[in-house]
Chains A and B, each alone.
Chain A
């Protein structure tokens, strides 16, 4: 069983953006109280901003801090800077933070594979932009968890 939460809001910087997603996951009992710090630690060393044309960051932490597998999507009213995964010296304006609280089972590979495949499609992002929060949640559940129970 996988949870998917969509939140919308403002953040001053990448830490605050990650904090909002981590808090939401914590509130739903999906992650422990160290998860936020571990996500930040990871982001500092190995940033997860995708690309200019795909203004999405995919922060996460290792499975030790995950209780129940879930994804929290934060849609930002104004973009915040995350560093790029490909070029750690470059900053990218991020509008969606997709925090992946994953366990290392066979399902998580399928989920991450579907998330990344979806995000590479420009039309998918345009669709995300056009949907309301509730619609976005259903849309993402259909695509990210496709074929999973």
Chain B
């Protein structure tokens, strides 16, 4: 089970959409996920409790947890590349968990 945090500015709109999409991607690659949503401003404090974080806006990486931008899922720009990045991040986190 990979613990996933999805964050956007309000923690309600774009993160909800991204959560749906990421759930689909996780199913496709066969990774079980536990998804939580939050506001971006809480990411730096809460990221440590998750295996991977996805954000829908620009975010300065200042956490040991892998943080991946997913605004492409919403705008449709570079959507395929974004999906690949999400797949890679989920698989990497899943691999790390299985080694624990």
Q: A residues within 8 Å of B by Cβ?
A: 42, 45-48, 50-51, 54, 58, 60-63, 85-88, 100, 102, 104, 108-109, 112-113, 116, 120
Contact = CB atoms under 8 A, between A and B. Distances in A.
Nearest to A104: B12
19 contacts: A42-B9, A42-B10, A45-B9, A46-B9, A46-B40, A61-B10, A62-B12, A85-B56, A85-B57, A86-B71, A88-B58, A100-B13, A102-B12, A109-B16, A112-B13, A112-B16, A112-B17, A113-B17, A116-B17
Given A45-B9, A60-B13, A63-B12, A109 B57 contact: no
**10 nearest CB pairs, A to B:** A46-B9, A120-B76, A109-B16, A86-B71, A62-B10, A46-B57, A112-B17, A60-B13, A42-B9, A51-B75
B17 A85 contact: no
Contact of A113 (B20, B57, B75, B76): B20
A116 B75 CA distance: 8
A54 B75 contact: yes
Interface of B: 8-14, 16-17, 19-20, 39-41, 56-58, 71-72, 74-77
B25 to A, nearest CB: 14
Which of B14, B41, B56 has its CB near the most chain A CB atoms (within 10 A)? B14
Contact of B77 (A45, A48, A51, A102): A51
Given A85-B75, A113-B17, 7 more contacts: A48-B14, A60-B13, A61-B10, A86-B77, A88-B57, A109-B19, A109-B20
A46 B11 CA distance: 11
A46 B75 contact: no
A41 B87 CA distance: 33
Contacts of B75: 50-51, 54, 85-86
Contacts of B58: 87-88
A108 B40 contact: no
Contacts of B39: 62
Given A42-B9, A54-B75, A85-B75, A109 B17 contact: yes
Contacts of B14: 48, 58, 85, 112
A6 B10 CA distance: 24
A108 B16 contact: yes
Contacts of B20: 109, 113
